[in-house]
Structure 1
Amino acid sequence: MTVHHLRARLAALDTQILQQRRALDELEQSRSDVERELFATATYDVLTLPVEITTEIFLVCHATGPSLLLPHGKHHGTPAPLVLSAVCRGWRTIAHATPALWDSFRVDFQKFTSNTEAADILIDSWLARAQPHPLSLELQCLEVQGSFASVKALTHRWSQQIRSLTLVILADVHELGFDLAAFPILESVMLCCATSISPSIPVGVFQNAPLLHDIQLGWSLYPRQFQFDWEWKRLTKFSGKLDSMELFALAPALVELTCTFLPALDASLVVTQHLTLESLTVADDDGDESLDVLQYLTLPALRRLDIFDSKDNHDSLRLFLARSSPPLISIIVEMNEVCLDQWRKSLLIVASTLERVELHGVHDSDAHQSLTDDFIRPLSDKCLTIQSLTLKSAGECNADILMRLLYALSNRALKSFTFLWDLPPLLEQTAYENEILDTLSGHLCRLSRAGMDIYFGTEDKNYITE
């Protein structure tokens, strides 16, 4: 082919390419026109839902807890109400007309240190949409200057509408002037304040809070550091440190208590009876040496007992249960492997009512053997009411011992079994039990198919499926 023909052919191809590009541009323009028209006229299924259903969907999106408010421009973790409001005009109208979406938030005022006025505007516009719903506020201020004034102004401005209040502040709480403000619907308060409050000079707070019945004190705060004008007899729930037994006398209606016991030198430590307490959690203190509070209590109405305490308190537990004779249905304890027999004696006292047992800290196969032969099996012979058993272990598992335990309990009232390790379990261990030779996984799946609810693995993953 001559040079002339080749040049003619190249020119023809260039012309065809140009024509195709023009056609493609026309098609893309047509597509954009149709897309624009579609967006202007189309109705999406989700937008045709009744307002009531859309509102319920919004509330489910918001149900994970109080929203964290951040300064403008920080989009990480944008609160659900703001995300929903930004989708379209219809959703914004629905969101702004749903007070329950805006009735709670948490804010760290240190994030607004450069512009506290912006924080006040954002918070007030948020809370204005919550009216007339009761409010649940979580406020943190670890700097006294600047933002502390915003915390004080905010709580006073909305005091009539606050039902639940959490305060983490690096200052004495009396500086907030809560003794002067009215909190007519306040029910629950959590305070973490500076430790400069003198124990010998009680601080007056919430003097006009007729519904307050739930108090949580954090850091190094004690009940006697606060002077409440509302009557202590209304208190039903308390969480914090105790330095005496005075609370049990002041709060005869107390139902739920979570405490660490750090008695003062002048505390009177006689055995105290409380007639309404149903739930007691004894926590271990990370710093000071706490004292076993069980040896000073008689609780005949107790239904739930959780002992997260590293001390060897098996003997006081037995004496406490014998002294109280409570209708206990749930117990969580840190096990001492040397004293399994003592633990068994303790739980046999409440065997007729006990439904849930959770044991922590059984670390090796010898302990599992002792747990089965000296503790669980004798307990199961007399206690037919245990429906849920949880064992938490950091050690290895002996498949034969564990299967002996589960098959022994499978014909009892036990409906749920949980075994948690720090590391993934070895499911291919073999065990001969119930006249069947199978792997650990096989036995557990068989028990699961028979109706037992089994969780077997780590905190994050259940390795057993039917």
Structure 2
Amino acid sequence: MTMVQQELRKQLDELSSAIEAQRLVLDHLINQRSHVQRQLNNFLDPMALLPLELQSKIFLECLCHAEEDVIVQRPDPKAAPMLLLGICQLWRDIALSTPELWNHLRMESSPARPNDPQFFEIWLKRSQSFPLALTLEGSSVLAKDVQGLVDGCGDRVETLTLLLTTIPTRGSHILREPFPSLEKLKIEFTDVRGFDIRDWMYLLKTSPTLTHLSFSGSFSVRETMADSTAPFTLPALRELHFPDYSPYSRVNATRILKYITLPALETLHIRCNANSENGSGELLDFLTRSSPPLRSLFINSSMWPSDIISSLEYLRIIPSLTDLSLVANDLISVLEMLPRAPDFLPNLRDLTCYPVSFLRPGDYEIVVRMLDVRPLKSFRLKMMDPSAAFGNAAPSWDPTPSEDIIRELRRSRDSGVSVHVSAGEQIFV
């Protein structure tokens, strides 16, 4: 190698070293500029001028809400909270320092499509020690990755929603671990073949702090009728809902009333369908056994056989009731009893009636008499739309109240009672 070549190589090395040194200086200057720019942005960004508590509340409003103000939180990079991480460093810092953004989580369970447990562990770690609200949907035989995740945080779960689609293996528990802090539980089971009620007893029995329960699904009638399990007590449960379905649906979730005692129950929303062979009897047994301080009752017993005595009997044993919404074949018998018996629902203040058929002129007179005698705060009478009625539902008489009846109803309204009488979109009072 000649002297010229050696010199050229030496110059090349020196230039490369100088370029690398300048690149390091440039990188340092770029980082410094980014740092100063972030500081300037913090002064210019209105968010930076707000207290951290207010910043966090604004971010919480970005979460997706469903009905009843329930947060529906799937991990989605295009939605909050994950979207907030990529806006700027300030927003990222706010999001990561707001554990309430991360304590709602919705997971889909499928053995064929396992979830990434590390991702969900990071998500739940960001929630710190805050109470959790979990929604699990998919197969009722929850995949192992979901089971493992729930097992690790079960003591923090306060709200649990199960949206399940298939029948579990006989004798298996839906979730293995107890939920000592669980307060709200919603269960929807969509498989029409029904499932064994005993598979759910473990989950309820290991949730002593449960205050709200919503249950819809179809139990296996054969297995349920053969079961001799004694009723157990949920001492803190205050609200129990069995959501509405079509009248002839196979859903018979109300059979769970045979297995539970609820001494603290204040609100009951129940629909008894044609599958309830002894609906009024089961309800009567449940209320007698529980003796709850029931305040609000919505009951649709229109599919029960017309039995005035048994239908009124379950109302007699809940004198604490203040709010009653009633769909029933024997609705008029209830309205007749109210003015006749002062000890029948003595604390009733709000009454809403949904007649199965249209009222006749004599029925309206019963309504007026009831309003004259009972000191209600509000009365609602909501009939179906006559123009939409068909078949057996079509009335052979005009269901519109007479002018005299409307005048009497308005008199009750003017005396301080909130009165509403309607048929479909047509409002009479």
Q: Where on the TM-score scale, by shorter chain, does this alignment land: which range?
A: 0.5 to 0.7
Residue 69 (str. 1) matches residue 74 (str. 2)? yes
Q: Measure the CA separation in 2 of the matches of 1:97 and 1:166.
A: 26
The 8 Å contact of residues 184 and 210 in structure 1, kept in 2 or not, is answered as: yes
Amino acid corresponding to residue 269 of structure 2 in structure 1: T
Amino acid corresponding to residue 292 of structure 1 in structure 2: S
Q: What is the Cα deviation at residue 283 of structure 1?
A: 1.1
For residue 307 of structure 1, give the secondary structure of its aligned residue in structure 2: strand
For residue 158 of structure 1, give the secondary structure of its aligned residue in structure 2: helix
Q: What is the Cα deviation at residue 94 of structure 1?
A: 1.5
Residue 361 (str. 1) matches residue 373 (str. 2)? no
Q: How many residues align?
A: 347
For residue 67 of structure 1, give the secondary structure of its aligned residue in structure 2: coil
Q: Measure the CA separation in 2 of the matches of 1:98 and 1:223.
A: 49
Q: How does 1:376-387 map to 2 (within 5 A)?
A: 377-384=368-375, 386-387=376-377
The 8 Å contact of residues 282 and 307 in structure 1, kept in 2 or not, is answered as: yes
Q: Partner of 2:279 in structure 1?
A: 291
Q: What is the Cα deviation at residue 420 of structure 1?
A: 5.7
Amino acid corresponding to residue 387 of structure 1 in structure 2: K
Q: Measure the CA separation in 2 of the matches of 1:239 and 1:224.
A: 25
Q: What is the Cα deviation at residue 168 of structure 1?
A: 3.3
For residue 165 of structure 1, give the secondary structure of its aligned residue in structure 2: strand
1:343 to 1:315, Cα distance in 2 relative to 1, 3 A: same
Q: CA RMSD in A?
A: 4.3
Residue 304 (str. 1) matches residue 296 (str. 2)? yes
Q: Measure the CA separation in 1 of the matches of 2:201 and 2:256.
A: 18
Q: What is the Cα deviation at residue 158 of structure 1?
A: 1.7
The 8 Å contact of residues 137 and 162 in structure 2, kept in 1 or not, is answered as: yes
Q: Measure the CA separation in 1 of the matches of 2:360 and 2:86.
A: 56
Residue 102 (str. 1) matches residue 122 (str. 2)? no
Q: Partner of 2:395 in structure 1?
A: none
Residue 164 (str. 1) matches residue 159 (str. 2)? yes
The 8 Å contact of residues 59 and 101 in structure 1, kept in 2 or not, is answered as: yes
1:45 to 1:213, Cα distance in 2 relative to 1, 3 A: closer
Q: How does 1:27-66 map to 2 (within 5 A)?
A: 43-62=44-63, 64-66=69-71
Amino acid corresponding to residue 412 of structure 2 in structure 1: L
Q: What is the Cα deviation at residue 331 of structure 1?
A: 0.8
1:225 to 1:185, Cα distance in 2 relative to 1, 3 A: farther
1:363 to 1:46, Cα distance in 2 relative to 1, 3 A: farther
Q: Measure the CA separation in 2 of the matches of 1:245 and 1:164.
A: 22
Q: What is the Cα deviation at residue 174 of structure 1?
A: 5.7
Q: What is the Cα deviation at residue 410 of structure 1?
A: 2.1
Amino acid corresponding to residue 107 of structure 1 in structure 2: M
Gaps of 5+ in 2: 1-36, 243-252, 387-399
Residue 187 (str. 1) matches residue 177 (str. 2)? no
Q: Measure the CA separation in 2 of the matches of 1:95 and 1:200.
A: 42
For residue 292 of structure 1, give the secondary structure of its aligned residue in structure 2: helix
1:45 to 1:419, Cα distance in 2 relative to 1, 3 A: farther
Residue 282 (str. 1) matches residue 283 (str. 2)? no
Q: Measure the CA separation in 1 of the matches of 2:422 and 2:61.
A: 31
Q: Measure the CA separation in 2 of the matches of 1:125 and 1:351.
A: 53
The 8 Å contact of residues 382 and 422 in structure 2, kept in 1 or not, is answered as: yes
Q: Measure the CA separation in 1 of the matches of 2:88 and 2:416.
A: 54
Q: What is the Cα deviation at residue 357 of structure 1?
A: 0.7
Residue 330 (str. 1) matches residue 326 (str. 2)? no
The 8 Å contact of residues 163 and 188 in structure 1, kept in 2 or not, is answered as: yes
The 8 Å contact of residues 185 and 214 in structure 2, kept in 1 or not, is answered as: yes
Q: Measure the CA separation in 2 of the matches of 1:231 and 1:106.
A: 30
Q: Measure the CA separation in 2 of the matches of 1:207 and 1:318.
A: 32
Residue 135 (str. 1) matches residue 132 (str. 2)? yes
1:172 to 1:408, Cα distance in 2 relative to 1, 3 A: farther
Amino acid corresponding to residue 409 of structure 1 in structure 2: S
Gaps of 5+ in 1: 1-36, 257-277, 427-439, 445-466
Q: Measure the CA separation in 1 of the matches of 2:90 and 2:200.
A: 53
1:106 to 1:244, Cα distance in 2 relative to 1, 3 A: closer
More off after superposition, 191-200 vs 123-132: 191-200
For residue 69 of structure 1, give the secondary structure of its aligned residue in structure 2: coil
Provide, for residues 69-103 of structure 1, a one-character-per-residue CA deviation record: whole Å limited to 9, x for no partner.
Answer: 1566xx5xx3x423444443322222221112221
Q: What is the Cα deviation at residue 128 of structure 1?
A: 1.5
Q: Measure the CA separation in 1 of the matches of 2:74 and 2:98.
A: 18
Q: Partner of 1:395 in structure 2?
A: 385
1:87 to 1:401, Cα distance in 2 relative to 1, 3 A: farther
Q: What is the Cα deviation at residue 359 of structure 1?
A: 0.8
Q: Measure the CA separation in 2 of the matches of 1:247 and 1:383.
A: 36
More off after superposition, 344-353 vs 293-302: 293-302
Provide, for residues 423-452 of structure 1, a one-character-per-residue CA deviation record: whole Å limited to 9, x for no partner.
Answer: x448xxxxxxxxxxxxx7xxx7xxxxxxxx
Q: What is the Cα deviation at residue 408 of structure 1?
A: 1.9
The 8 Å contact of residues 327 and 353 in structure 1, kept in 2 or not, is answered as: yes
Q: How does 1:108-147 map to 2 (within 5 A)?
A: 108-110=108-110, 114=113, 116-118=114-116, 120-142=117-139
Q: Partner of 2:89 in structure 1?
A: 89
Q: Measure the CA separation in 2 of the matches of 1:129 and 1:225.
A: 44
Amino acid corresponding to residue 327 of structure 1 in structure 2: S
Provide, for residues 303-325 of structure 1, a one-character-per-residue CA deviation record: whole Å limited to 9, x for no partner.
Answer: 33322121335432333444x26
The 8 Å contact of residues 172 and 196 in structure 1, kept in 2 or not, is answered as: no
Q: What is the Cα deviation at residue 244 of structure 1?
A: 8.3
The 8 Å contact of residues 387 and 413 in structure 1, kept in 2 or not, is answered as: yes
Provide, for residues 240-277 of structure 1, a one-character-per-residue CA deviation record: whole Å limited to 9, x for no partner.
Answer: 635487546xx3x5333xxxxxxxxxxxxxxxxxxxxx
1:407 to 1:331, Cα distance in 2 relative to 1, 3 A: same
Q: What is the Cα deviation at residue 216 of structure 1?
A: 5.0
For residue 220 of structure 1, give the secondary structure of its aligned residue in structure 2: coil
Higher share in strand: 1
Q: Measure the CA separation in 2 of the matches of 1:136 and 1:156.
A: 14
1:204 to 1:318, Cα distance in 2 relative to 1, 3 A: closer
